[in-house]
A and B are shown apart, each in its own frame.
Chain A
Amino acid sequence: MIQFENVSRSFLVGDQKVAALRDINLSIAAGDYVSIMGPSGSGKSTLLNLIGLLDRPTSGTYRLDGGDVTALNDEQQARVRSQKIGFVFQSFHLVPRLTAAMNIELPLILAGIPPAERKRRVAELLENYGLNDRADHRPDQLSGGQRQRVAIARATSMRPAVLLADEPTGNLDQTTGREVIKLLEALTEQHVALILVTHDPAIGGRAKRQLQMVDGQIISQT
């Protein structure tokens, strides 16, 4: 489903070109569970941003569901993000003034889904993630685990094919972290490709496929 062919990404720092990713070749299928590990600055986040279409490769081709998405313009990429990709962040990134239910509803609102359908999906997600009694609370009234559950519910509200998680347990204690990981892993059973960036070998080790990155290259795959 996801295919990277010789993808490189370099940045200009001052007048020096710094390569963040070099010649990445990667293919991920629906329902795959992939963890990306490596030290800071190894290019994990850059790779995740490229997969999530938040960034464009300097060279190489990225195919998503067979189509070349590197050639798409901003608006088309936004549509692909909306339809196929979900994000979960380390710092949750919930909108502080909106309730849990509205945070979950946000991608549906942006995609222009009719209100009746939205209501149905949000109710289902609140139920699935055990947030029923937290629906009308704002993020600052929620615990860390609850916040990340809202974020996961939001990331899956558009039923994406790919879920990208950048250190999803980084701001959580171990027990809560493990619960969140289990929720994410459950998604792979519904044929969602889960791609997880982490420092933590205990979490990264649970994935069926593990990528080790150093200096913008994948040095080992299992």
Chain B
Amino acid sequence: MLLPDLIRLTTSSVLAYRMRSFLTGLGIAIGITAVILLTSIGEGLHQFVLSEFSQFGTHIINIQPGKAQTQGGSVGIFGSSKPLSIEDALALRRLPNVEYVNTGVQGNAEVKANGKSRRITVYGAGHDFTKTFTFKVQTGSFLPADDPNQARALVVLGAKVRQELFAGENPLGQYLRVGGQRYRIIGVMEAKGQILGFDMDDTVFIPAARALELFNRPGLMEVHVSYNARADLQQVLSAITARLKERHGRDDFTLISQEKSLDVLGSVLDVITFAVGALGAISLLVGGVGILTIMTMAVTERTAEIGLLRALGARERQVLMLFLGEAMLLSALGGLAGLALGIGIGEALHELFPALPVYTPWLFAALAECSAVSIGLVAGVMPARRAARLDPVEALRSE
């Protein structure tokens, strides 16, 4: 029997029982819809979270003072460890494969300008801040490459600060009071939005050494190192560890690489996507049982036809293929309908609730359709084998 004929014959039987085929296919369609919808939302969430975390670049290592003993934050200033200094950061800058180093100190302070005041985040940064992270200046420039310990009183505004204090004006060259000191405004950052609840736009950037003074801190809160994308992460990590141990005399700092955190986060999110997909797969399984039921009925109903086919010279294999083909066709059609429904509902949800990230990778769609066909195959095996093994004389007699 040629393949087009097999398709023609199976299609004819699927079409002959339209309502029944529709309902059976619907079982599979609902299963596939559930799988596609749930995994699409899972995957959308995955991409959303990863992009939130990686928008500052992925080749970044975060160094914090104090040794993290267990999960959780570093001991920081409460421990007996040596603080991270600006000199430490400068020393790391000279390591191979290290591209940029940023020194970070963060705190809250009141800023005043134009007769308005506002309590916001003040971030002490280095000249390389914008290059370490992918964060651009919108107008003016970022902090200049001054001697880090004798930096001038210059400030760069976040987009929201500029909007709140200098709406409709050009802030460049004007002065901003930060914690009682006068800073000249030299730039405005582009809007970045909130990152996990922390508003990057409601922040001003001043030189790190001045921030240390302002907050009366002995050392930096964090040092960020960006490294060459082609470099081996492990080598960079050990070079940093070696250099800092040499300077501090002991291992009193913690390294966290963005790449590793993203890997861990990515695999957690993958598990979530897989888990919700598995939940949807339960309904797919129920659809498979529907196919099994219908095909078992079909074999009983069409026993005489099976006998006839055998009398006309059909081999057992051909009868088997005809019934298997029918089960697979039902599930393939149901699967396609489910794909269309799942993707359609996903898109509609995204339109209705733009905040809900929905993303359907082609691979998911292909895998879902394959699993639909496989379920049809598995569900069809038992009834099809029964059909193939019927005794032709008995089968012909049943009518």
Real binding pair: yes
Residues 56-92 of chain A, each 1 if its beta carbon lies under 8 Å from chain B, else 0: 0000000000000000001100110111010101010
Whether B314 pairs with A93 at a CB distance below 8 angstroms is no
Whether B313 pairs with A83 at a CB distance below 8 angstroms is yes
Tell yes or no: B318 within 8 A of A by CB: yes
Tell yes or no: A218 within 8 A of B by CB: no
Q: Write out the residue numbers on chain B whose beta carbons fall within 8 Å of the beta carbon of A107.
A: 312-313
Tell yes or no: B316 within 8 A of A by CB: yes
Whether B304 pairs with A78 at a CB distance below 8 angstroms is no
- In the assembly, what is the distance between CA of A6 and CA of B309, in Å? 30
Tell yes or no: B119 within 8 A of A by CB: no
Stretch at the interface among B87-95, B157-165, B349-357, B391-399: B391-399
Instruction: List which B287-326 residues lie within 8 A (CB) of chain A.
Output: 304-305, 307-318
Given A54-B392, A54-B393, A112-B1 in contact, is the A78-B308 Cβ separation under 8 Å? no
| Chain A residue total in the interface (Cβ 8 A) | 30
- In the assembly, what is the distance between CA of A110 and CA of B305, in Å? 14
| Chain B residue total in the interface (Cβ 8 A) | 27
Whether B16 pairs with A97 at a CB distance below 8 angstroms is yes
Tell yes or no: A95 within 8 A of B by CB: yes
- In the assembly, what is the distance between CA of A55 and CA of B391, in Å? 9
- Distance in angstroms from B10 CB to nearest chain A CB is 11
Which one of A49, A98, A158 contacts B313 once the chains associate, using CB atoms below 8 Å?
A: A158
Tell yes or no: A111 within 8 A of B by CB: yes
- In the assembly, what is the distance between CA of A82 and CA of B9, in Å? 18
Given A91-B399, A110-B318 in contact, is the A154-B312 Cβ separation under 8 Å? yes
- Distance in angstroms from A80 CB to nearest chain B CB is 8
- Distance in angstroms from B324 CB to nearest chain A CB is 16
Instruction: List which A116-132 residues lie within 8 A (CB) of chain B.
Output: none
Closest Cβ neighbor of A76 among chain B residues: B315
- Distance in angstroms from B396 CB to nearest chain A CB is 7
Residues 203-217 of chain B, each 1 if its beta carbon lies under 8 Å from chain A, else 0: 000000000000000
Scoring B4, B13, B313 by chain A CB atoms within 10 A of each residue's CB, the highest score goes to B313
Tell yes or no: B12 within 8 A of A by CB: yes
Given A78-B314, A78-B315 in contact, is the A110-B396 Cβ separation under 8 Å? no
Whether A110 pairs with B393 at a CB distance below 8 angstroms is no
Tell yes or no: B5 within 8 A of A by CB: yes
Tell yes or no: B2 within 8 A of A by CB: yes
- Distance in angstroms from A56 CB to nearest chain B CB is 10
Q: Write out the residue numbers on chain A whose beta carbons fall within 8 Å of the beta carbon of B310.
A: 54, 78, 81
Tell yes or no: A204 within 8 A of B by CB: no
Whether A109 pairs with B5 at a CB distance below 8 angstroms is yes
Residues 125-159 of chain B, each 1 if its beta carbon lies under 8 Å from chain A, else 0: 00000000000000000000000000000000000
Which one of B9, B318, B393, B396 contacts A89 once the chains associate, using CB atoms below 8 Å?
A: B396
- In the assembly, what is the distance between CA of A52 and CA of B2, in Å? 25
- In the assembly, what is the distance between CA of A52 and CA of B305, in Å? 17
Whether B313 pairs with A109 at a CB distance below 8 angstroms is no
Given A98-B12, A112-B2 in contact, is the A93-B396 Cβ separation under 8 Å? yes
Closest Cβ neighbor of B12 among chain A residues: A97
Whether B304 pairs with A82 at a CB distance below 8 angstroms is no
Which residues of A come within 8 Å of B, CB atoms? 49, 52, 54-55, 74-75, 78-79, 81-83, 85, 87, 89, 91, 93, 95-98, 102, 106-107, 109-112, 115, 154, 158
- A/B interface sample: 8 pairs, CB < 8 A: A78-B310, A79-B315, A81-B310, A85-B313, A97-B15, A109-B2, A109-B9, A115-B4
Contacts A75-B316, A89-B396, A110-B314 supplied; 4 other A-B pairs, CB < 8 Å: A78-B314, A109-B2, A109-B5, A115-B4
